[in-house]
Amino acid sequence: MNQTRSPIGPGVLLLLVLLAGGWFLQRGVAQDQNVYVQTRLLEEVIDHISQRFVEPVDRQQLYQSAIDGVIGGLGDPNSSLLNVDDYENFRIQTEGDYGGVGLEIVDRDDFITVVSPLPGTPGARAGIRAGDEIIEVEGESTRDWSAQQAVQLLRGAPGSDAQVLIRRPGVDEPIEFTLTRERIQLRSVPFAALLNGEVGYLPLGLFSETSAGELRAAADSLREEGAQSFLLDLRGNPGGVLDQSIGIADLFLDRGDAVAETRGQSNDQNQRYRASTEDQFAGMPLVVLVDRGSASASEIVAGALQDHDRAVVIGAPTFGKGSVQTLFSLSGGNVLKLTTARWYTPRGRSIETPGGTEEESPHPETGPEEEGLQQAAPPESNGARIALTLDGQFIQVPDTTGRPTVTSYGGRTLFGGGGIVPDLLVLPDTLATGEQEAVRRLFRHAGRVNTAIFNQAVDFLNRNEVDGADFTLPEGELDALIQRLEAEGVELSSGQVQEISRFLTRQLEGEIAVQAGGDRARFLRHYAGDFPLLRALEILEVADSPEDLFARAGSQLSGTEP
């Protein structure tokens, strides 16, 4: 029997198979080859520049410029390459024990912006405010600096001075400050107070390794004193150790409740965080105070408690700092600090400030699968009204028009679109138009003004026995302060003196109180004029339960939490 033989021999057939396989393999490896070509292209460009450019060029600097370009192209101010010195500064900063001036800063709009001065630090005592732009450090312009560059110059040996030039919104001329560095070791809860005999006031200044424990101890102590409800004050809190935000939310949520979620490109960055214990203060109404200085970990706490209808949030919209940075060790002792994920609240609200690549992406929930989260830039007008408060803070009147919405677990409407929008928008006491104009002019001499106020307070305490916040400021004391200001070279007309008297009186009273009795004394001296806090007290004093609290705040629950 004859068999038909293929005209294609085994060798030819094998060649065809290899060629065909190569074609398919080529499609699979094309992307890798393209990366190889681009890598080789970079090497060739650097070779030609280093060898043939008209003037000598440092090859190492070319590589550094290439790295800077790659990271800068991300458009993320929180990602950077840290050399050995930069990383050591970063490590010291995160451990919270260093010589510095106590300013929380970010790089925004070409310059370094103060998010918040940390309570009790040189920056806070000098009068630097949230929203101030640092335009020079030690005589060097900070234009296009990263926050790490500014940190490196602002930190130093305790007792040494740091010279900074500040541009303040609403003030025409830059302001000079000389800050004496100190070792920064901060308490998260500087004090606690029982207000009106039944409301436990808990100010949380920042998130450190001990925050949850400090807050739990303070709340337990206030409950033993008779507290029936709590007022958690996160205003001006720039964040800190994010793990502690989970622990603090855990104090007020039930076991298994979602606290927050991170989402990133890699699976190890996609994590859900849940409460691990039962509500430690079940049945006790809770209000959280926030403002534009509340950021990062503060927003995680406020967002979680708001989403679960555990707290009424009062104040102004928060900053919006919801990104996660991861450190990667590289060759030569360098470290890459890279944004690898973003935070979301339990109901899926991204807290990242609008304007980046992150978009609002609410995730309605069914059952137990929850979703969920960045700080505050200075108020930019964008046509919105900016006002000056009695405490000297610039605020932007908030507008929720056009913001996306989600619903809380209890059915309440919540706003997304960046930061945490309070359930009740309550702004601080603001100065009248004439007062604002006069105080803005006074800010041109902010360094000398704060020095004069400090010295006048010292002089007053040397002449008077003062017990914390309980003292009366004689009328002549303000006149003495005015004379001290004029002696410092601050020229004031009689009309301007009249317009700034209310502001200076409050500043002087606060400085006397803090010198006499610390932060608690200053708080007790001023809280009667704190509009957001007074609104919180008003509803806490009549609310019998968390459910009643929402009704009193005009935000009735319409559902039940799963």
Please report the pLDDT score of residue 474 as a whole number. 92
Ranges assigned E (strand) in 478-551: none
What pLDDT is recorded for position 160? 92
H/E stretch holding 15 reads: helix 10-52
* Options 107, 250, 291, 321, the catalytic residue: 321
Reading the block at residue 37, the tokens are: 């070509």
Full-model pTM? 0.73
Q: Among this protein's residues, is 467 annotated catalytic?
A: no
User: What pairing do the DSSP bridges indicate for beta strands 258-264 and 193-195?
Assistant: unpaired
Three-class SS string for 26-55?
Answer: HHHHHHHHHHHHHHHHHHHHHHHHHHHCCC
Yes or no: say if 152 and 164 are a contact pair by the CB < 8 Å rule.
no
- pLDDT bracket for residue 485 (50, 70, 90): very high
CA angle at residue 160 from 104 to 490, to 5 degrees?
Answer: 75
Confidence of residue 5 (pLDDT cuts 50, 70, 90): very low
pLDDT above 60: residue 547? yes
Q: What residues does 312 pair with on adjacent strands?
A: 287
Dist. CA 135–CA 142, nearest whole Å: 5
Cβ count near 490 (within 10 Å): 17
Greater confidence (462 vs 259) lies with 259
Tell me the two tokens of residue 236: 């001006």
Q: What is the mean pLDDT of residues 98-111?
A: 81
Q: What are the backbone dihedrals phi and psi of residue 327, each rounded to the nearest 5 degrees, phi first?
A: -100, 130
Inform me whether the pLDDT recorded for 362 exceeds 80.
no
> Is 558 in the active site?
no
Best-predicted range by mean pLDDT (4-18, 83-97, 197-211, 382-396):
197-211
Residue 296: active-site member: yes
Is residue 358 very low, low, confident or very high in pLDDT (cuts 50, 70, 90)? very low
**Measured in Å, how far apart are the chain's first and last C-alpha atoms?**
80
pLDDT for residue 131: 73
Of the listed ranges 18-27, 146-155, 437-446, the least confidently predicted one is 18-27
How confident is the model at residue 31, as a pLDDT?
58
Q: Among 307, 309, 423, 530, which one carries the catalytic annotation?
A: 307
Q: Which residue has the tokens 């007008």?
A: 381
Closest to 176 (Cα-Cα) out of 223, 127, 143: 127
Helix (H, G, I), strand (E, B) or coil at 407: strand
274 beta partners? 258
**Residue 376 pLDDT > 80, yes or no?**
no
Q: Residue 350 has what pLDDT?
A: 92
Cβ burial, residue 174 (10 Å; 0-12/13-18/19+): middle
Helix (H, G, I), strand (E, B) or coil at 503: helix
| pLDDT greater than 70 at residue 71 | yes
Cα 457 to Cα 438: distance, rounded to the nearest angstrom: 22
Q: Which of 379, 374, 367, 383 is nearest to 321 (CA)?
A: 374
Count, residues in the chain:
562
Q: Could you give the CA distance from residue 465 to residue 468 in angstroms, rounded to a whole number?
A: 10
Residues 114, 150: contact at Cβ < 8 Å? no
Q: What is the pLDDT of residue 15?
A: 42
| Contacts for 61 with CB less than 8 Å, ≥ 6 apart | none
Instruction: Indicate whether 195 pLDDT > 90.
Output: yes
pLDDT tens, position by position, 36-57: 888 888 888 998 998 998 999 9
Give the C-alpha separation, 455 to 517, whole Å: 17
Give CA angle at 384 (382, 385), nearest 5°.
135
Number of C-beta neighbours around residue 483 at 10 A: 12
Is residue 56 within 8 Å of 319, Cβ to Cβ? no
Q: Please give the pLDDT value at position 560.
A: 45
Asked if the model's pLDDT at residue 460 lies above 80, the reply is yes
The position carrying tokens 């000079």 is: 176
pLDDT-based confidence at residue 501 (cuts at 50, 70, 90):
very high
Which tens digit of pLDDT belongs to each residue from 106-122? 777 788 988 768 777 89
Rounded distance, CA 552 to CA 57, Å?
Answer: 69
Q: What is the mean pLDDT of residues 427-435?
A: 94
When mean pLDDT is compared across 329-343, 493-507, 525-539, the lowest value belongs to 329-343
CATH superfamily of 80-184: PDZ domain (2.30.42.10)
Residue where the block lists tokens 């060739």: 44
CA distances from 557 to 346, 516, 534, 543 (A): 17, 45, 23, 14
What secondary structure does DSSP assign to 445-494, as a single string? GHHHHHHHHHHHHHHHHHHS--BTTB----HHHHHHHHHHHHHTT----H
Q: For 182, list phi and psi in degrees, rounded to 5.
A: -135, 165
Classified by CATH at the fold level, domain 193-425 comes out as 2-enoyl-CoA Hydratase; Chain A, domain 1 (3.90.226)
CA-closest candidate to residue 503, choices 553, 430, 448, 402: 430
SS3 labels along 117-169: ECCCCHHHHHCCCCCCEEEEECCEECCCCCHHHHHHHHCCCCCCEEEEEEECC
Pick from 98-107, 159-168, 408-417, 514-523: least confident: 98-107
Give yes or no for residue 428 having a pLDDT over 50: yes
Asked if the model's pLDDT at residue 16 lies above 60, the reply is: no
Least confident interval from 245-254, 333-342, 430-439: 333-342
- 296, 298, 323, 555: which one is catalytic? 296
Report domain extents, the chain: 80-184, 193-425, 433-529
Give me the chain's average pLDDT, please. 84
| CB proximity list for 313: less than 8 A, separation 6 or greater | 287, 288, 289, 290, 302, 305, 306, 420, 422, 423, 424
pLDDT band per the 50, 70, 90 thresholds, residue 30: low
Q: What is the pLDDT of residues 263-274, one digit of tens each?
A: 999 888 899 999
Tell me which range, 119-133, 344-358, 520-534, is most confidently predicted by mean pLDDT: 520-534
Looking at residue 23, its pLDDT comes to 44
